[in-house]
Structure 1
């Protein structure tokens, strides 16, 4: 197939022209399979029913690779003027001005973004109209070096147990890169400063209980070989990878929702699922409605303070 080929794709009520469908975005390497732009489009079209609930109403930052993984990467916040008028945009304040973010409201937008080689979609933790009131809190668990996923799994278990003690529901997701995200649904009552302070206190509580294994030190040189409990995404205009988005790594791994029980699987790792099988995993509904159970942080804050002896 020539990478100059054009294909018309039906997505919901619209049709979208996809260009250079044969362009290799993910070169094959070792056991990693080769994938083209056409493969990326097909994946996002199929994933749309499961992805859109996590994308609608949320400003995006797009990670684009027009020439594939071997070419330059572009982190795109502003929506180009040549994007179709039917794609939703929102102006958001930033220091010194505004940014016109893309918002993905339908399957056609998802397919169009794939045609633009937007491999990875990073979404806000708050929604349009409530920009300073997040309805998600995210803990990012990455190994200090290499792919020490055993340490990531161990940290996730400890964090999950603490969140259970605080009576906060939580969902688990492989990042498709190196680690796991633990996502806590919120009811949108709190601003980012409150949410980030709470997340930091949760992380500090864990790190103080396990100082040889976990840390909240922002400087890499201060972490040693300890796993970093990263809560930095819980801030205005910061983003986190969207569930079921593809990551720009060989083999096209996918950020995939999992159940807490799946942490016991010895074969589990951050890139366990790819565009070839991530939707099979997601269709089992591993989160089982967890994200619809948004909580206020007041009761959890009182429980956490009691645990910390405040």
Structure 2
């Protein structure tokens, strides 16, 4: 825990004095969890969370008045942020740029929690090479109008098995919302178009194998109760919820990295919250701690993917 000044309103972390305000403000109505609870959570999880964030710019989802108030995404670090919070010049496709913050320390994480940042969303490319993602992501949510966890578990496992056929080992986390993210770490050789194309072709194989179960149709009306294999996040400027980030939802669920055996055992997207995640980390090491040691070059797997596509008959939705 940080060193607290006598007045209880400032803390010192890594030599930085942080003014802490309105700890008793309720951010999560229904559970009465406060801004102080959020600050304490991020302070205690920082040693695990910061390594997942340190090299990437983030977009901040803030709720100054709690979930009952109006929230917003903050991409551009304002001038009043302390100068020890790094900024990343992030070019816009339409011209110009914004200064994306980077969370590279426990002090930065606590400071932003005090700004009522509930969720940090991590960009898919590192700060030193924004044009080349270092992860490929599949976003899996249940079909519209359904909250059946078994469907997204099955999709995650089907996707894992398919990627294994390509000699790719994926990683999985709950989103803390309705589904799972399946992630393949990348060496950073391909641009976003190449990564998205590869991800789409992986998803096409799964749709061809299970056309009644999965779809790539972007329009909800065309999905007809099938689970959408969302690869659209693999794009310049897109983000994904960071591991161990609290979600801006009732009950303060947390996006939680899992082992595949936990998915097989019935893990659900909202099983972990701000109240029980720290106990989990006390009992189980971070399943994603070694993710950076396992990075892939997709071009080495393209021939195998093409062979799988050729082997499966096109699905009806491809007509």
Q: Which runs of 4+ in 1 moved over 6 A?
A: none
- Per the alignment, residue 111 of structure 2 pairs with 112
Aligned equivalents of 1:11 and 1:306: distance in 2? 54
- Per the alignment, residue 60 of structure 1 pairs with 58
Aligned equivalents of 2:217 and 2:8: distance in 1? 49
- Per the alignment, residue 296 of structure 1 pairs with 297
- Per the alignment, residue 152 of structure 1 pairs with 152
Unaligned runs of 5+ in 1: none
Tell me by how many angstroms 1:96 deviates: 2.8
Conserved 8 A contact 2:254-2:272? yes
Q: Deviations over 1:46-83 (max 9, x none)?
A: 11111111111211111100000000011111111111
- Per the alignment, residue 228 of structure 2 pairs with 228
Aligned equivalents of 2:8 and 2:66: distance in 1? 17
Tell me by how many angstroms 1:133 deviates: 1.0
Unaligned runs of 5+ in 2: 1-6, 312-319
Tell me by how many angstroms 1:10 deviates: 3.4
Structure 1 length-normalised TM = 0.93
Aligned equivalents of 1:281 and 1:217: distance in 2? 37
Tell me by how many angstroms 1:182 deviates: 0.5
Alignment of 1:19-168 (within 5 A): 19-28=21-30, 33-94=31-92, 95-145=94-144, 146-168=146-168
- Per the alignment, residue 195 of structure 1 pairs with 195
SS at match of 1:206: helix
Tell me by how many angstroms 1:258 deviates: 0.5
SS at match of 2:37: helix
Aligned equivalents of 1:116 and 1:285: distance in 2? 27
Equivalenced residues, count: 301
- Per the alignment, residue 7 of structure 1 pairs with 9
Structure 2 length-normalised TM = 0.91
Query: Residue 279 and residue 183 in structure 1: after superposition, are their counterparts in 2 closer, same or farther (change >3 A)?
Result: farther
- Per the alignment, residue 272 of structure 2 pairs with 273
Conserved 8 A contact 2:204-2:309? no
Aligned equivalents of 1:271 and 1:53: distance in 2? 23
Q: Deviations over 1:202-251 (max 9, x none)?
A: 11111111111111111111112111111111111110000000001111
Aligned equivalents of 1:11 and 1:157: distance in 2? 41
